Amino acid sequence: MKLVDRLACRHGREASAALVRHLHDFVREVEPTYEEWERSVKFLTDVGAKCTPSRQEVVLLSDTLGVSMLIDAINHRVPEGASETTVLGPFFVANAPEPPLGSNISGGLPGEPLFVDVSIRDAAGRPLPDAIVDVWHSDKDGYYDVQSYDEGGGVNLRARFRSDAEGRVWFWSIVPSFYPVPTDGPVGDMLRAQGRHPFRPAHVHFMIAAPGFATLVTHIFIDGDPYLDSDAVFGVKDSLVRKLERREAGATPDESVLDHPFAIMTYVFRLAPSLKPR
């Protein structure tokens, strides 16, 4: 057996031993009855049964218990100056449309116009041209396009851009809204039993990749959202919260003119260098 395989097996045994040790400690502390144990087994069975190709209830359970964010924190100890990460979420779609910079990705959906203007840099502040920037977010009612695919909905509020020579990406969309995680399954039952709400604060997702740098998966949260301090999946970090600039009708940052008010979101992303293999 190769050394790497032996190390993997050893790590697996250590992880299994730790899992059993902590699980047994939990059971000793809580002292569940047989009926409570049976309900627990049914809950986990129901979580698995709720999973489909388009619905991952196990990941949702991990998210709402804070495990996903803990895994993210353990695996993304970013250096000073680099942007913080957060969870990918269930609504990312690979191979999004690749419109030119400055495009409107709203698909004509109603909502407050939003101009997004971000810069991609390294941790020292140097611009990163030709970075691949995936963006996606909800509509004004909190729904993502993938949630309407079965009803014939199209792709909107998501795109893939490449940063320009100055590391800049800009586009038009609409201001997203807060929204609930799915509550029609066992995880929803758990949240209700815990007395917790299911809402995530309004945000725009970004996934940014550039050669020689660790891919950044993060959100920009909108300041003032009522759920910033109680995100159902514990994803909010102070450095990722930004206040939208509201402007009246008139000239826009991309030198066009709107006859109605609009909002502006700006941010500077700083990528961490790729980690060297151990």
Q: What is the pLDDT of residues 115-174, one digit of tens each?
A: 999 999 999 999 999 999 999 999 999 999 988 755 556 789 999 999 999 999 999 999
| Residue 16 domain-assigned (yes or no) | no
pLDDT for 236 equals: 97
| Residue 12 domain-assigned (yes or no) | no
| Residue 217 domain-assigned (yes or no) | yes
Q: Residue 119 maps to which CATH number?
A: 2.60.130.10
Q: Residues 207, 88: contact at Cβ < 8 Å?
A: yes
Phi-psi region of 125 (alpha: psi -120 to 50; beta: other; left: phi over 0): left
Edge-to-edge strands of the sheet including 203-209?
A: 158-162, 132-137, 203-209, 216-222, 241-242
Q: What is the pLDDT of residues 105-115, one digit of tens each?
A: 999 999 999 99
Q: Which range of residues forms the domain containing residue 75?
A: 50-271
pTM value surpassing 0.85: yes
The number of folded domains in the chain is 1
| Residue 31 domain-assigned (yes or no) | no
| Residue 38 domain-assigned (yes or no) | no
Please calculate the CA angle 24-28-30 and round it to the nearest 5 degrees: 115
Q: Report the percent of the chain where pLDDT is more than 70.
A: 94
State the average pLDDT over residues 234-249: 97
Give kind and range of the element (H or E) at residue 122.
strand 113-122
pLDDT for 34 equals: 97
Phi-psi region of 81 (alpha: psi -120 to 50; beta: other; left: phi over 0): left
Q: What is the pLDDT of residues 248-265, one digit of tens each?
A: 999 999 999 999 999 999
- Lowest average pLDDT, out of 3-7, 74-78, 144-148, 194-198, goes to 3-7
| Residue 131 domain-assigned (yes or no) | yes
| Residue 19 domain-assigned (yes or no) | no
| Residue 278 domain-assigned (yes or no) | no
Q: Report the percent of the chain where pLDDT is more than 90.
A: 82
